[in-house]
Amino acid sequence: MPKGEIMKYKSTRGKVKGISFKETVMMGLADDGGLMIPEYIPTLSKDEMIELKDLNYKDIALKIMKLFIDDIDISTIKNIIDKSYSTFDKGDIIPVKRFDNNIFIAEIFHGPTYAFKDIALQFLGNLFEHILLEKNKKMNILGATSGDTGSAAIHGFKGKKDINIFILHPHGKVSPIQELQMTTVTDKNVFNLAIDGTFDDCQYIVKSIFNDLNFKQNYSLGAINSINWARVLAQVVYYFYTYFRVANNFEKVYFSVPTGNFGNIFAGYIAKKIGLPIKKLILATNENNILTRFVQNGDYSLSNVVETYSPSMDIQIASNLERYFYFLFGEDSDEVIKKIKEFEQNGKINFNKSEVEQINIDFYSFSTSNDETLKIIADFYKKYDYILDPHTACGVNATLKLNDGETPFINLATAHPAKFQDAIYKAISKLPEEPERIMNLKNRDKKYFKLKNSVDEVKEFIRKELNADTGN
C-alpha cells in the first residue's frame, strides 16, 4: 500500500480487518484468536531515516509511532511519549556503551523497574488512560506474573485514572527485589494478590476468570500481555535510536536480543521492514531452546520448560511468534491458521527448506546453557569491569559466536544485573551495585493481599473491591 494511506490493522488470521490503532490497542488479542498487525508496513527512505540521526529518544519515538497511529493527534502522542519516558533514569533514556571495536551494549532497562518491559508498559499505561478518558470508560487490568512483567505493569498503571490493576504473583516465589517492586506500590488502584501457589496456578486463575465471559464483561476486565500491538510499537523505537548511536555511514548492523515471548525481537523485525539497515537479528535463548531449534533446523517442537538463571526467557510457546509466521508465509492467513492448528494438535510444526532458508536470512540463533551464562558474566566482568545480567549474557554469548570483529553488534541489555543478584554472585562472587531506586524500596510500606489458590476467592476479591469503588 502506498504512503499516505490511513493506517489500519488486521489479524494474522484474517477474519478481523480495517481496525483503527486505538481499537487495536483496546482489543489486545484479535477477536478471531490471531494477533493484530498493521495492514501495511510503512517504509522510510535513506534520506528520511538520516533525518532521525540526531534526534533525541522522545523525538525519534514520535516520528516512528506517528507512522503507525492515525487516530490520535500528534500533540497528544507527544504528550504520552513525554510522560512515559520522563520516569526513566536521568541522562540518556538508553545509554549505549562500546566494548572493543565493534561490540556495543544498549541498556534498554533504565525505567522504573529496571527491565526493558518498562519501555512498553510505561507507554501502554498512558495510552490506555488517554483512550479510556476519551471514551468515558473504565477498565480493570488482570494479569499473572512470575516477576518482571507484573512489576513493570504495576509501575505503568499506578495512579492512572479510570483503571485498576490486579496482578497475581506466587507468594514467596518471585525474587525479593521483584516482590518489593510490586508490593511497595500503595496507590489505591493497584492490587497485588499474593497467591498461595505457583506461577502456573496464578496463570490458571487468570485464564479461568477471563473465560467467564459474564464476569469479564461485568467488571470490564482487560489484559496487558505481550501480544498487545502497542507494546511492540513502543519497542521498535529503540532499534532506531540505538542504531544511530552506533552507525556512522548507514552501514548494516547486527542486533542481539535475549528472547522469550518474541516481542522484543519482533519489534526489531518491524524496524528492519521499515528500512533500518539490520544485517540479521540474533535470537538468543537460554536452555529453553525451542526458538533456536526453529531457526537452526526449522524444528519447532515443544519440550518442557526448565528453570534457568534468566527466568524471563523460561518460555516454550512464544506468544508473538505468530506475527512472524504471518510474514514468513507470505502474508497468507489461511496458512497461518493451518500451521497453528498443526501445532495445537501435534505440539510441533515442520517447515520446508525454503522457509528454513528465509528464517536464516532473518535470524541467527544460539542457545546458552546455565553454566555458560555464568562463565560469560565472569569473563565479561574480568575483561571489561562490566556486569551483564543473565538474560543479556545469553545475548552477548550469541554475539561472540558470530563476531567478525568488524560489523557493529548491538546487544540489547534487557535487565539491570541488580535484579538477579543470586546468579551474579555465583558468577563473580560479588554483588552488583544497586541503583538508588532499588535501594530505596527496602523501607517502604507494603500493600498486598494474601489469597488462597482459588479462582472463586480471587473473583470474590475483585467483586468486593470494584463494588466498593463505584460506591454501589
Ligand X SMILES: *Cc1c(COP(=O)(O)O)cnc(C)c1O
Q: Which three cell numbers stand for residue 149?
A: 512483567
- Shortest reach from residue 312's CB to ligand X, in Å: 3
In degrees and rounded to multiples of 5, residue 395 shows phi and psi of -65, -45
Does residue 282 belong to the site contacting ligand X (CB under 6 A)? no
Per-residue mark of binding to ligand X, 295-314 (x: CB under 6 A): -----------------xx-
Q: Which three cell numbers stand for residue 74?
A: 500528534
Find where cell 479462582 sits.
Answer: 455
Comparing CA positions, the residue from 15, 21, 4, 72 lying closest to residue 232 is 21
Per-residue mark of binding to ligand X, 435-464 (x: CB under 6 A): ------------------------------
Residue whose CB is less far from ligand X, 261 or 333: 261
Residue whose CB is less far from ligand X, 225 or 301: 225
383 exposure class (CB count in 10 Å sphere: 0-12, 13-18, 19+):
exposed
- Shortest reach from residue 412's CB to ligand X, in Å: 9
- Shortest reach from residue 268's CB to ligand X, in Å: 10
Q: What angle do CA 67, 71, 77 make, to 5 degrees?
A: 65
Residue whose CB is less far from ligand X, 126 or 149: 149
Query: What does the alpha-carbon distance between residue 40 and residue 56 come to, in Å, rounded to a whole number?
Result: 27
- Shortest reach from residue 40's CB to ligand X, in Å: 24
Residue whose CB is less far from ligand X, 139 or 359: 359
Residue whose CB is less far from ligand X, 296 or 453: 296
Per-residue mark of binding to ligand X, 246-265 (x: CB under 6 A): ------------xxxxxxx-
- Shortest reach from residue 225's CB to ligand X, in Å: 10
**Cβ pair 28, 141 in contact under 8 A:** no
Per-residue mark of binding to ligand X, 79-118 (x: CB under 6 A): ------------------------------------x-x-
Judged by CB under 6 A, the residue of 36, 153, 410, 415 near ligand X is 415
- Shortest reach from residue 353's CB to ligand X, in Å: 27
Residue whose CB is less far from ligand X, 113 or 183: 113
**Cβ pair 257, 282 in contact under 8 A:** yes
Judged by CB under 6 A, the residue of 104, 169, 414, 424 near ligand X is 414
Per-residue mark of binding to ligand X, 387-406 (x: CB under 6 A): ----x---------------
Q: Which three cell numbers stand for residue 299?
A: 524444528
Residues labelled as active-site residues: 117
Judged by CB under 6 A, the residue of 107, 129, 148, 434 near ligand X is 148
**Cβ pair 213, 175 in contact under 8 A:** no
Enumerate binding residues for ligand X (CB under 6 A): 115, 117, 148, 226, 258-264, 312-313, 391, 414-415
